[in-house]
Amino acid sequence: MTVTSTVGGTLGVDLASPAQATEQFTLDLGDGAPPVYLNASGGTASYLGTMYILPGNYTIWVSSGGQPWRVLRGQGHVSAGECQVVANPGVSTVDKVMCPLVWEPDESYSCNVSVTLGEPQHVFTYSFTSTDQTVPGTFASLADSPTWGTVTSGTDSPTAAGGRRVVLAPPVPLSPGDTLRITGNIAVSGETYAPGDEVDGVAGDTHHVAAMVVAEEAPVAVAHTCRVVNNDVTLDVTDPAGSATLSNTTACQRNITDVIVDVLDVNVNAWNFSLNLQEPYYVWAGASYSPSFRVNISVGGPTTITIVFTPPITPNITTTDPTDYPFTGALHTILVPFTITNPGTFTITTTPYNLHNTYHSPPNHTITVVALYPVLQFTMAPTATQFWVYNQVPTFTFTDVQGRDFPTNASVLIDWGDGTTPDLLPFTHTGNFIPSYTHNYTADGVYTPAAFIYNLVSGFNTSCVVTIVEQILQLNIINGYYHRYGHGGITYH
């Protein structure tokens, strides 16, 4: 008999029987799997397969005709003694490196490194690398159990009669309860009982045996601590032979847990500071103005912020702040400028996030914002230089000489300057963007009417001068004379 074997390699067993030219051998490889049945032809039989997945010493038993034969490696049959075959370990290799996607700074985390089997002296080298530090290290592979394997399927079509052990080649993963479909002759158990295996679609009472390498994770944990936010850390692991290196990267980021949003508009605050102390928040509308959202978080970094407007404003806002915001008990404020071109009422949803939110929903906050065109600068003027009292009613116009957007929901308070009660009127126009108003003065004189135009976010004062004159409706000239006596002269008066 001849036996050869390596871990993960080929196991070969050649048998010769001195008893009979035709005989059935039972081969037990000592690895816990069911025995292999071999039919000898001409007094010889052979087995070739990939069996041992762990290094170690294995006792091989052979029986023929119901009599067990103990086998020595490289020798023929013996009738006594106990002998073993040595499965030599192969070279350890690194198969997988698995690190967290993201981790908190200054908190330790572990990466799992899966390797093939090898002896304890097989040493793997690794290093954690980031821009601020490099941390090297080593670890030994496990010798008593696999750390990573692959389960695969295949076919076997033996030429010899009888059952043979079938080794499934990689890589098809199997789970408990999965159905395995094999083509060819495989080992059949010596017992028959129902329910048995299905063969060619027909249920029976026989049971078949297939040996396979089962995937098993027993990773080596390698610990590390990241230190600088927004500074990724890469773990590189090299196999003992130095022939292969696998890597995986962990992002160093702070988990964002909460958010509160309000609005800062310096123009509105200058007009009425108390207006934006609570919702709804008011801002100036128009392409020239840039108020800001104040995004307040307790902790974060880096922080990507998405702001969505409803009704939509294209495009929505997405911005990233790389700053590290550690937890201090106080809020950190990130200013995000925005522009609302046209007036309206908008629902604003703000969502800050980073890689921590890849597998769970990030926090968000929704507010209401009202955008209004502001009152800026209007010129008030009468439509004529002077008006007659009673017969002509003066008209006053308001003009924005720069042609800016007309104020939203504005009013005007006009003091006509004649002692009458001021008028509070809607500041509107008839399509020409020039509001106009009239007032009847009851006495002649020079008047200075003053107007205050305003809405919720702004206001402007303006005035002008108007002259009111009394009309002369009828003028009669009466001539008079008298005689002056003496000297013959006449004087007229």
- What's the confidence (pLDDT) of residue 419? 93
49-58: per-residue pLDDT in tens?
555 555 556 7
Q: Positive or negative CA dihedral for 160, 165, 168, 173?
A: positive
Q: What are phi and psi of 458, to 5 degrees?
A: -170, 170
Of 101, 102, 126, the C-alpha closest to 113 is 126
Of 429 and 203, the structure prediction assigns the larger pLDDT to: 429
Higher pLDDT, 118 or 144: 118
**Interval 218-244: pLDDT, tens:** 467 888 998 899 899 999 999 888 888
Gyration radius from the chain CA atoms: 49
Q: Record the pTM.
A: 0.65
Please list the residues that pair with 353 across neighbouring strands: 304
In this prediction, residue 479 carries a pLDDT of 62
Q: How far apart are CA 165 and CA 32, in angstroms?
A: 13
Q: What is the pLDDT at residue 259? A: 95
pLDDT of 207 over the 60 cut = yes
Q: Do 379-469 and 94-147+217-252 have the same topology in CATH?
A: yes
Q: In the prediction, which pLDDT does 72 show?
A: 32
The encoded tokens of residue 2 equal 């001849």
- Output the CATH code of domain 94-147+217-252: 2.60.40
- Please say whether the dihedral angle defined by the alpha carbons of residues 436, 439, 440 and 443, taken in this order, is positive or negative: negative
pLDDT band at 389 (very low <50, low <70, confident <90, very high): confident
- Pick 11 or 207 by higher pLDDT: 207
Query: Tens digit of pLDDT for each residue in 253-306?
Result: 999 999 999 999 999 999 999 999 999 999 999 999 999 999 999 999 999 999
pLDDT at 296 (0 to 100): 96
What per-residue confidence (pLDDT) applies to 422?
Answer: 96
Q: Is the pLDDT of residue 77 over 80?
A: no
With cut-offs at 50, 70 and 90, classify the pLDDT of residue 482.
low
Arithmetic mean of pLDDT, 87-101? 75
- The answer for 31, left when phi > 0, alpha when psi is -120 to 50, beta otherwise, is alpha
Average pLDDT over residues 444-457: 96
In this predicted model, what pLDDT tens digit does every residue of 404-422 receive, in sequence order?
899 999 999 999 999 999 9
Give the confidence band of 81 by pLDDT, cuts at 50, 70, 90: very low
Residue 446 has pLDDT above 60, yes or no: yes
What's the pLDDT band for 61 if we cut at 50, 70, 90?
confident
Alpha-carbon distance values, 141 to 50, 104, 249, 468 (Å): 22, 29, 22, 106
pLDDT of 217 > 50? The answer is: no
Report which DSSP code applies to 300.
B
pLDDT over 70 percentage in the chain: 64
Asked if residue 484 has pLDDT above 80, the reply is no
- Which is it for the CA torsion 251, 252, 258, 262, positive or negative? negative
Query: Where residue 171 falls among pLDDT bands split at 50, 70, 90?
Result: very low
**Tens digits of per-residue pLDDT, 335-384?**
999 999 999 999 999 999 999 988 888 999 999 999 999 999 999 999 99
List all residues 6 or more positions away from 45 whose beta carbon is below 8 Å from its beta carbon.
14, 15, 17, 25, 38, 39, 160
What topology is assigned to 2-87 in CATH? Immunoglobulin-like (2.60.40)
Q: Of residues 186 and 275, which shows the higher confidence score?
A: 275
Q: Tell the CATH superfamily of the 379-469 domain.
A: Immunoglobulins (2.60.40.10)
Confidence of residue 208 (pLDDT cuts 50, 70, 90): low
94 vs 468, which has greater pLDDT? 468
Rounded CA gap, 385 and 393, in Å?
Answer: 13
Ranges 84-98, 355-369, 451-465: which has the least confidence = 84-98
User: What is the pLDDT confidence band of residue 213, given thresholds at 50, 70 and 90?
Assistant: very low
What is the rounded distance in angstroms from the CA atom of residue 412 to the CA atom of residue 396? 12
Q: Compute the average pLDDT of residues 428-440.
A: 94
Predicted confidence (pLDDT) at residue 153 exceeds the cutoff of 60: no
- The pLDDT of residue 391 is 82
Average pLDDT over the chain, rounded to an integer:
77
Task: Provide the CATH number for the domain formed by 260-372 in this structure.
Answer: 2.60.40.10
State residue 416's pLDDT score: 96
Where do the structural domains in the chain lie, given as residue ranges? 2-87, 94-147+217-252, 260-372, 379-469
The CA–CA distances, whole Å, from 302 to 241, 258, 355, 443 equal 39, 14, 9, 72
**pLDDT at residue 308 above 70?**
yes
pLDDT band at 120 (very low <50, low <70, confident <90, very high): low
